[in-house]
Amino acid sequence: MKGSKLFKQRWQRQWQTYAKYLPYVFNDHAILAFVILFGAALLAYRQFLLTLTVTPLTLLLLWLGMGLTLTIFNRPATFILEADTIFFLGDQTSLVGLYHYATLYSMIINGFIELVLLLALLPLMIVLLTTKVWLLVLLICLMVTCKVMCTGWLAYRWAHFSNDYGAVSNKLVNWRQLAQAETNRQARILAFFNLFIDVPGQTAKLSRRRWATPLIRHWPGQQTARLTYLYVLTFFRQDQYFMTWMRLTLFGLAVVVLSQGWLRVCLLALLVYLLMLQLIPLVTSHRQIVFDHLMPLSLADRKAAFVWVISPLLVVTQVLWLGLALVLAPKGQELLQMGLPLVLMTLVLVFWYSGKEIETLFKRRAYRAFKK
């Protein structure tokens, strides 16, 4: 089989898999939330540009942001599976062709993503750097070229063995390393889909986080709701839940800095909603274990445990947001304007919306299980 045909087959197979999960990610509620968030972000971006001044600090932050774009989506796809190292052992011509086509594909895609990111930063470049078109085009072309070369260099490093000093030691192709890189890439993508729907064969990445042990032991609600300890332990040990909370909290801090007034309130309320939406699957994280079905647990027990888990997290998140807002503008009226709507929305999401969503989630999973 030619490398081009093999690449086309595996590329189509992967996107067919992604197409099955995308409707669960971009459902009606998520699309509405993303559209509102995108529009509000554009408005906040415009207001930020109007008040931006050229200082050494803003120039440094711009260059750091442009450098950060080189680290986003810079890893190549290989489309090489673990079994390929044995199946194509006698004839590696197809694998070599697949590797070259996959590297070229990754360089094009990553270069295009870099171009989109730089176009998003283009208004900042015009305000802080220069208004000359040819200089901006030259800078963007250099950055895109760097991203393409970085992707190609990573593919080259993965494809060859290296010595203790990191230098390429021979011309043999390290197929196992290429297969492992593809496995890790697929695991990251499917871990994102696993936040919205159970992906077959997907295992969550676990981290010990010893610093969280006292928090887990003394978390409130463990005597009231029996599943609270299990849910809290899962939240801190599984990266997909803990890192989601961390990212949205940090993004909210950036929103507090870059926006103001009712725009800030709307953006933060939307982040609270997205955080709730991302953490609700925590309730079903142990449904594949038989003891979850054998224990006499009702849906009310699961709802109560989730309320005890999510409430302190939202309190910490909003305390950080309100604290930063108080430091930036110590005015009681603005703090009340920001805090009161967030608190009211949080109460509605925690004590009403989460219960409805958990009921819908269990009905949907029971229906799918019955169909199978």
Question: Quick check: 25 and 196 in contact, CB under 8 A?
Answer: yes
Please tell me the predicted confidence (pLDDT) of residue 370.
38
**Do 134 and 223 lie in a common domain?**
no
Return the sign of the alpha-carbon dihedral for residues 255, 257, 262, 268: positive
Q: What is the pLDDT of residue 74?
A: 86
Side chain identity at residue 47, one-letter code: Q
Write down which residue in 146, 166, 193 finishes a domain: 193
- 171 in the same domain as 32: yes
Mean pLDDT of the chain: 83
Whether 241 maps to a domain, the answer reads yes
310-324 mean pLDDT: 91
Residue 355, burial from CB neighbour count under 10 angstroms (0-12, 13-18, 19+): middle
Answer yes or no: is 327 within a domain.
yes
Predicted confidence at residue 39, as pLDDT, reads 80
Residues 104 and 60 in one domain: yes
Is residue 267 domain-shared with residue 336, that is, in the same domain?
A: yes
Query: For the chain, what is the largest distance between any 2 Cα atoms, rounded to a whole number of angstroms?
Result: 74
pLDDT at 223: 82
Structural domain range at position 30: 3-193
Give the burial class of 271: count Cβ atoms within 10 A of its Cβ; 0-12 exposed, 13-18 middle, 19 or more buried: buried
Q: Is residue 205 pLDDT above 60, yes or no? A: yes
**Within this chain, do residues 136 and 256 fall inside the same structural domain, yes or no?**
no
* DSSP conformation letters of 186-198: HHHHHHHHTTTSP
> Which residue type is seen at 155?
A
Domain finish residue from 193, 218, 240: 193
Q: Is 13 found in the same domain as 117? A: yes
Picking from 163, 193, 223, the residue at the C-terminal end of a domain is 193
pLDDT digits (tens, 9 = 90+) for 59-76: 898 899 899 998 888 889
Least confident range of 152-161, 171-180, 291-300: 291-300
Domain count of the fold of the chain: 2
By percentage, how much of the chain surpasses pLDDT 70? 88
16 in any annotated domain:
yes
- Look at residue 14 and tell me if it is in a domain: yes
Q: Mean pLDDT, to the nearest integer, of 290-294?
A: 59
Q: Does residue 216 have a pLDDT over 90? A: no
CA distance 261 to 251: 17
Q: Read off the pLDDT of each residue in 49-58 and give the average, rounded to a whole number.
A: 85
- Give 336-347 as a 3 state SS string: HHHHHHHHHHHH
Same domain? 187 vs 214 = no
Let me know whether 220 and 146 are in one domain.
no
Interval 166-176 mean pLDDT = 69
Please tell me whether residues 170 and 244 are part of one structural domain: no
67 in a structural domain = yes
Backbone angles phi, psi at 115, to 5 degrees: -65, -40
Would residue 205 count as lying in a domain? no
pLDDT at 135: 92
In a domain, 146, yes or no: yes
Domain contains 273: yes
With 70 as the cut, is the pLDDT of residue 327 above it? Answer: yes
Q: Are residues 157 and 258 in the same domain?
A: no
Residues 240 and 316 in one domain: yes
Tell me the pTM. Answer: 0.70
216 in the same domain as 341: yes
Nearest to 143 by CA among 62, 78, 77: 62
Alpha carbon separation from 204 to 118, 191, 235, 334, 356 (Å, rounded): 33, 7, 11, 41, 26
